[in-house]
Amino acid sequence: MYFDKDASPDDIEGETVAVVGYGIQGKAFAANLRDSGVRVVVGNRDDAYRDAAVADGFDTRPIADAVAEASIVLLLIPDEAHQEVYTAHIAPHLADGDLFVLAHGFSVRYGRIDLPPGADVALLAPKMFGKPIRQRYLDGSGVLAFVDVVQDATGRTLRRILAVARAVGFTRYGVLPVPHATETELDLFQEQFLTPLLLDAFRTAFEVLVEGGYDPVPALLDMHASGEMAEMLVEAADTGLYEVVEQQGSPTCRFGVQRYLGKLLGDEVRDKGRAILDDIRNGGFVEALSKEAEADYPSLADYTAAYRAGALTRAHDRYRAVLEGR
């Protein structure tokens, strides 16, 4: 793992960084780089995000101009837009020796962009969304990131990407070397297996309680909306999943947990996890995603409609209305 002591600002001294995209990640990266003394140019289409970058005082230009101006280019727009934006506005303006950086390995892992042969290419993948990246930079800490040297034209790619990581604040927490294919597959697996499993666990618990005659609002609060479970997971990230129950739970709680631990998810769920992982690795998922995108994401509208109509969402709306009395 790399820390502040392993990264030197000298390795990007005098370089200009183009932050392409001013969304969840772009806004945080741009602000932290600037506060670390790095010259930043934001590249964005003429859109609301562009206005936000201008309002925040950034030198903001069309994407191709920002790339031409910089020697380090961070691509921080949604992965599904990479291919088109990279081909039209980035690749033609990348010079030999430039450093091209992605925040997620997806486009490289699935061969959706052609890497520029004379440039350095690196992955710097935050394991966190944008707001904490900015907030923790301001409070003197940082968040975890994965790093990978995808292509090393200058022989200095690792040093340069670690200097970028330091300027954003990642080396304060730690930057772990992880191959870009692994980073991509782990991220997709978390999204496709763990996230639905957790959401369905909360929903199933809620539905069992409501079927059992309980008022939906206290049921929702006790299952997740109080934030207690979220705090437990935050604590667990530091101390460990089982340790947090051991340290924070009463004997009644610990006895109840151990009584059912390992007994609720059977082999069937594990087999589904294996199938999802196979689908990610063999390209089945990315093919389905391309078809979905071509049809303008019809499943997303269905998903939203189904959840909005559900009892859990209605209970949440009722709870929010009560909170408005604060």
Residues with a catalytic annotation lie at 104
Beta bridge partners of 148: 123
By C-beta, is 81 or 306 nearer to ligand NDP? 81
Helix then strand then coil, % of the chain, to nearest 5: 60, 10, 25
Q: Which of 76, 113, 178, 315 binds ligand NDP (CB under 6 A)?
A: 76
Under the binding rule (CB under 6 A), the answer on residue 129 touching ligand NDP is yes
> Is 103 near ligand NDP (CB under 6 A)?
yes
Compute the least distance from the CB of residue 42 to ligand NDP, in Å.
8
Stretch that binds ligand NDP, among 74-82, 154-162, 288-296, 301-309 (CB under 6 A): 74-82
By C-alpha distance, which of 7, 218, 15 is closest to 100? 15
Provide the token pair at 309: 């109509």
- 187 known member of a binding site: yes
12, 17, 18, 25: which one binds ligand NDP (CB under 6 A):
25
CA dist., res. 294 & res. 277, Å (int)? 24
Residue 137: CB atoms within 10 A of its CB come to 23
Residues of this chain, 40-69, that bind ligand NDP according to CB under 6 A: 44-45, 47-50
DSSP string for residues in 272-325: HHHHHHHHHHTTHHHHHHHHHHHTT-HHHHHHHHHHHTSHHHHHHHHHHHHHTT
109 binds ligand NDP (CB under 6 A): no
Residue ranges for the binding site? 187, 191
**Binding-site positions for Mg(2+):** 187, 191
| Interacting residues toward ligand NDP by CB under 6 A | 21-26, 44-45, 47-50, 76-79, 81, 85, 103-104, 125-126, 129
